Amino acid sequence: MSYLTVNNLTHTYGEGTPSRKVAINDISFSLEKGDVLGVIGHTGSGKSTLVTHLNGLMKPTSGSIILDGKDIWEKPKEIKNIRSKVGLVFQYPEYQLFEETVYKDIAFGPENLGLVGTELDRSVRSAAALMKVQDELLDKSPFELSGGEKRRVAIAGVLAMNPDVVVFDEPTAGLDPIGRETIFSAIADYRKKNNATIIIVSHSMEDIAAVCNKVLVLNGGKVAYFGDTRTVFSNVSGLAEIGLGVPMITSLFEKIKAKHPDLDCSPLTVDEALSFLLSYLGKGGRADA
Amino acid sequence: MLNDITFGQYFVANSLIHRLDPRCKLLYLVYMIVLVFLAQNVVSLASVALLSLTIMLLTRIPIRLYLKSIKVVIPIIIFTAVLNMFYSSAEAAPLVSFWIFKIYSSGLIRAGFMAVRVLLLILLSSVLTYTTTPNDLTDAIERVLSPLKFIGLGRAIHTMSMMMTIALRFIPTLIDETNKIMNAQKARGAELDSGGIVKKVKALLPILIPLLISSVRRAYELAEAMECRCYNGGKGRVRMKQLHMKARDYASFLVISAFLGVIIISNIYVKIGVV
Amino acid sequence: MDNIITLDKVSFAYESEDKNYEVLKDFSVSFERGTFNVVLGHNGSGKSTLAKLLNGLIKPVSGTVSVNGLSTLDDESDFIIKKAVGMVFQNPDNQLVSSVVEEDVAFGPENLGLSPEEIRRRVDNALKAVDMYDMRLNATHKLSGGQKQRVAIAGIIAMEPECIVLDEPTAMLDPKGRKEVIDTVLKLNKEKGITVILITHFMEEAEFADRVLVMSDGNIISDGAPCEIFSQVEKIKSAGLSVPQTTDLLFKLKTAGYNVDNNVISADVCASIISDLIDNSLKK
């Protein structure tokens, strides 16, 4: 049975008023433990509305979210408990830092969950270590840190709550390649360590192709595609129709295939493309040996 | 709740009121406020209310939006009205009396008057801000106050109007930001709506501190951007939109002036519902 | 060569409580009038410091920055320099002054003390140049990121500068907004001849530049035409930058011993290079 299931989720803003707007419409998908889902879609396609439903910050107009076999809205009064299970890292999370020290800021989440003493200390330090926040930074004010460090502290603040599902909204927006790399590898470490389910909202098809095993494409509040990454990205023309692309390397091969239709490869990463080309060009034997 | 604040926002439309000279609109607001307080009986207050309603309709902005602007201040209106209800110097027997409270008919009338007056003040101010772009508005304030430059306050007036422009520009941005920070802290398990006063105030810190820090950062970046656009405190600044009084401005002046007569005459001759 | 901006042995340091951060040291570079320049660098490479030096927003500790021959150290020239070199920043929300599009664009020209008719003309032209004329009466806070950034650019070009410096203008935008901004800047350079200095960490944005500079730790480590720079994949990666997948693939093919041109970004050109490679190998 799947770990997280979203059933026919619909949310309507301003129901009963002239400005009524369906933000997400009949969204269904399901994920296993350890899955990494990429969510793509234009600004305004409903991505933000979807992710704020996953930890109960918004209540569905209709439909349900089943986590570990239980509807998260089964007991509305206990909705806050869901926040310990589903962590949500918003876009530019560094703007939520507020404590005097990095340590205290990371501890804010787990403390709200009721953690104290050594248990609290352990969760703060392990989240900090995972996000490559060095020990000597823990006593500093978060406002003295560089942009990339602040981002990692903010993410550590969510991971310290030890959620089973973590949703990242554009986790690398505004970062340079080194900053991006650090964050993606930390996310991968967290997933491996906790067998967690990860959901990443991103505009970068290359990043999605590199880190996700499943992809959900939203268009106008509806699911346009959902499936494993390779299958979704094989809909080159369908994605282009809704104004979304595929990874650059995938579209490059579409162009090559226009001239060489017999070429049987739709790579998602550069390395995949390279090893295919090398073997196709007759050097693969040596490379494989 | 934050999304309910519409006061101080501009709504695009092309009505007669939108096109009036902002300086006139500003002076009319002051004038209407005077009328609201001059109106001492039911007839004169009703006629001011009617005039206000006509103006609101002329703006072609949905009445729903005006109602929204009132929503936030309803507690203040009720508070003022209740306060006025008990305050009376009437000699007649009280309508209701319990314990130390006595409610007189004149107190009720006074409460009703007060509520209507506050309501009209809010609505009329909304008319001004809804139909006038913030820049026009601050420009109008700057120009209406410009005679003060002869007593050495020219710089102060410009600074004030610039501050208002920027404040109005950043209100929606900061409202969005507050919502985002609230959501982010809730996602970290923060409880914003439970516990006693001390706990509630303490729970606000995770929202207020990030908001303050981001406002300072925004202010700093905006100052840099303004400097790059050759801003140097308003010296030698010429506005793109120059204001010229047009026929409609003079006509509106006549219409609205006629009301002063109506109010004064009714105050003298009408004796019902007098405060 | 007709240079619009020249930096001569410029040093700059940020002071903080306990130490001085020296960001640039003996840094010299010139930008030629009318060209499209892209400065690539990772966060902390000194590229934002460079941007702010270019119009005198910050002043060098030693050395000189001169714009059209005028030093930014000279307070008298400050106004003329800021008028000649406009600046667009990263966060679109923090550089718009007014709540209405056209009033925001008018802010700069208004400060120049022009006649109201001239301001109107420039505002209309600027809005048309960035393709935002139809939205001139809209509220700024309701625009998309790309639209806000185009309004910010219009606000600068309405001052009719000779040069525009853009400090990571696309870092906070989605791909659509990013394309809108880059296309706009390219058009301004080609059609109006405005010198452009675009600071970014997206190498894709350098594709149509006349000149690309790569910065790392306060130094220029590469400087040349795009095709010269793009082939230096290892150098670019060592500067903490990533290269587009097309360029990366060609570089890896070349490393594997194939004779391919690896100085391109464009997917079309890359596709034809690889097609040729396949054709040639099939012939054998």
- Which residues of chain A are within 8 Å of residue C174 when distances are taken between CB atoms? 42-43, 203
Contact yes or no for C278 and A260 at CB 8 A: yes
Q: Give the pLDDT score at B92.
A: 64
Q: By the 8 A CB rule, do C269 and C247 touch? A: no
* Partner B contacted by C115 (CB < 8 A): yes
Closest CB to B222 among C95, C106, C138: C95
Backbone torsions φ then ψ of A64, nearest 5 degrees: -145, 160
Contact yes or no for B228 and C141 at CB 8 A: no
Which one of A141, A176, A206 would you mutate to disrupt binding with C, by most C Cβ within 10 Å of its Cβ? A176
Backbone torsions φ then ψ of C45, nearest 5 degrees: -85, -5
Q: Give the pLDDT score at C169.
A: 95
Q: Which residue of B has its CA nearest to C152?
A: B225
Q: Which two tokens stand for residue A63?
A: 């439909």
Contact yes or no for A90 and B188 at CB 8 A: no
Q: CA dist B164 to B133, C70, C109, C150, Å?
A: 12, 36, 20, 24
Contact yes or no for B188 and A158 at CB 8 A: yes
Q: By the 8 A CB rule, do C41 and C47 touch? A: yes
* Partner A contacted by C175 (CB < 8 A): yes
- Which residues of chain A are within 8 Å of residue B191 when distances are taken between CB atoms? 80, 112
* Partner B contacted by A157 (CB < 8 A): yes
Q: Which two tokens stand for residue A47?
A: 């991505």
Place of tokens 């880190």: A211
So where are chain A's domains?
247-289
Q: Which residue of A has its CA nearest to B209?
A: A98
- Which residues of chain A are within 8 Å of residue C40 when distances are taken between CB atoms? none
Which one of B188, B191, B220 would you mutate to disrupt binding with A, by most A Cβ within 10 Å of its Cβ? B188
Q: Which two tokens stand for residue C218?
A: 């306060």
- Which residues of chain B are within 8 Å of residue A109 when distances are taken between CB atoms? 188-189
Closest CB to B240 among C97, C106, C139: C106
Q: By the 8 A CB rule, do C198 and C36 touch? A: yes
Q: Give the pLDDT score at B142.
A: 83
- Which residues of chain B are within 8 Å of residue C115 when distances are taken between CB atoms? 238
Q: By the 8 A CB rule, do B62 and B129 touch? A: no
Residue C7 maps to which CATH number?
3.40.50.300
Which one of C67, C76, C95 would you mutate to disrupt binding with B, by most B Cβ within 10 Å of its Cβ? C95
Contact yes or no for C174 and A42 at CB 8 A: yes
Q: Which residue of C has its CA nearest to B234?
A: C111
- Distance, CA of B166 to CA of A41 (rounded, Å): 33
Model confidence pLDDT, tens digit, residues C260-270: 888 888 899 99
**Mean predicted confidence (pLDDT) in A186-206:** 95
- SS3 state of residue C170: coil
Contact yes or no for C116 and B227 at CB 8 A: no
Select from A266, A259, A246 the least CA-distant residue to C271: A259
- Which residues of chain C are within 8 Å of residue A263 when distances are taken between CB atoms? 278
Q: Which residues contact B223 (CB under 8 A, 6 or more apart)?
A: none
Residue C281 lies in a domain: no
Contact yes or no for C278 and A281 at CB 8 A: yes
Place of tokens 């009963």: A16
Chains that touch B (3 or more CB pairs under 8 A): A, C
- Distance, CA of A161 to CA of A124 (rounded, Å): 9
- Which residues of chain B are within 8 Å of residue C89 when distances are taken between CB atoms? 221, 224-225
Contact yes or no for C100 and B10 at CB 8 A: yes
CB atoms within 10 A of CB A237: 8
Q: Please, which residues 125-154 of chain C have a Cβ atom closer than 8 Å to chain B?
A: 137-141, 152
Contact yes or no for A90 and B187 at CB 8 A: yes
* Partner B contacted by A115 (CB < 8 A): no
Residue C254 lies in a domain: no
Which one of A13, A57, A95 would you mutate to disrupt binding with B, by most B Cβ within 10 Å of its Cβ? A95
Contact yes or no for A83 and B189 at CB 8 A: yes
Residue C220 lies in a domain: yes
Number of domains in chain C: 1
Instruction: For residue A119, give how far its alpha carbon lies from the nearest alpha carbon of chain C (Å).
Output: 36
* Partner B contacted by A90 (CB < 8 A): yes
- Which residues of chain B are within 8 Å of residue A112 when distances are taken between CB atoms? 188-191
- What's chain A's length in residues? 289
Q: Which two tokens stand for residue A7?
A: 């059933």
Q: Which residue of A has its CA nearest to C251?
A: A274
Q: By the 8 A CB rule, do C37 and C198 touch? A: yes
Q: In chain C, which stretches have pLDDT less than 70?
A: 17-19, 284
- Distance, CA of A145 to CA of A51 (rounded, Å): 28
* Partner B contacted by C120 (CB < 8 A): yes
The more confident residue out of A186 and B162 is A186
* Partner A contacted by C269 (CB < 8 A): no
pLDDT band at A286 (very low <50, low <70, confident <90, very high): very low
* Partner A contacted by B218 (CB < 8 A): no
- Distance, CA of C228 to CA of C206 (rounded, Å): 12
Contact yes or no for B183 and A55 at CB 8 A: no
Instruction: For residue B226, give how far its alpha carbon lies from the nearest alpha carbon of chain C (Å).
Output: 7
Residue C70 lies in a domain: yes
- Which residues of chain A are within 8 Å of residue B209 when distances are taken between CB atoms? 98
Burial B66-100 (b: 16+ CB within 10 A, else e): bebbbeebeeebeebbeebbeebeeeeeeeeeeee
Contact yes or no for C249 and A203 at CB 8 A: no
Domain that holds residue C166: 3-225
* Partner B contacted by A112 (CB < 8 A): yes
Instruction: For residue C257, give how far its alpha carbon lies from the nearest alpha carbon of chain A (Å).
Output: 10
Instruction: For residue C54, give how far its alpha carbon lies from the nearest alpha carbon of chain A (Å).
Output: 23
- SS3 state of residue A253: helix
Contact yes or no for B169 and C98 at CB 8 A: yes
Sign of CA dihedral B164, B165, B168, B170: negative
Q: Which residues contact C177 (CB under 8 A, 6 or more apart)?
A: C144, C145, C146, C147, C149, C170
Q: Give the pLDDT score at B273.
A: 63
Q: Please, which residues 175-214 of chain A have a Cβ atom closer than 8 Å to chain C?
A: 175-180, 203-204, 206
* Partner B contacted by C30 (CB < 8 A): no
Q: Give the pLDDT score at B275.
A: 61
Q: How far apart are the first and last CA of chain C?
A: 49
Helix (H), strand (E), coil (C) string for A101-152: CHHHHHHHHHHHCCCCHHHHHHHHHHHHHHCCCCHHHCCCCHHHCCHHHHHH
Output helix, strand, coil percentages for chain B, rounded to the nearest 5.
Answer: 70, 0, 25
Select from C156, C149, C145 the least CA-distant residue to C192: C156
Select from C119, C152, C105, C140 the least CA-distant residue to B168: C140
Burial A162-187 (b: 16+ CB within 10 A, else e): bbbbbbbbbbbbbbbbbbbebbbebb
* Partner B contacted by C77 (CB < 8 A): no
Residue A215 forms beta bridges with which residues?
Answer: A38, A227
Backbone torsions φ then ψ of C220, nearest 5 degrees: -85, 115
Q: CA dist B176 to B3, B179, B211, C3, Å?
A: 9, 5, 11, 44
What is the full per-residue pLDDT of chain B (275 aa) written as tens digits? 345 555 567 787 888 889 888 888 998 999 899 889 888 888 888 888 999 999 999 998 888 888 888 887 888 888 888 887 777 665 566 677 777 667 777 778 888 888 899 899 999 999 998 898 777 887 888 888 888 888 888 888 888 888 888 888 898 899 999 999 999 999 998 887 766 777 778 888 999 999 999 999 999 999 999 999 999 888 888 888 887 888 888 888 888 888 788 888 888 877 766 66
* Partner B contacted by A81 (CB < 8 A): no
Contact yes or no for C97 and B225 at CB 8 A: yes
Closest CB to B181 among A55, A57, A95: A95
- Distance, CA of A105 to CA of A108 (rounded, Å): 5
Residue A37 predicted with pLDDT over 50: yes
Q: Which residue of A has its CA nearest to C244?
A: A248
- Distance, CA of C172 to CA of C92 (rounded, Å): 8
Q: By the 8 A CB rule, do C143 and C113 touch? A: no
Q: How far is CA C73 from the centre of its chain?
A: 23
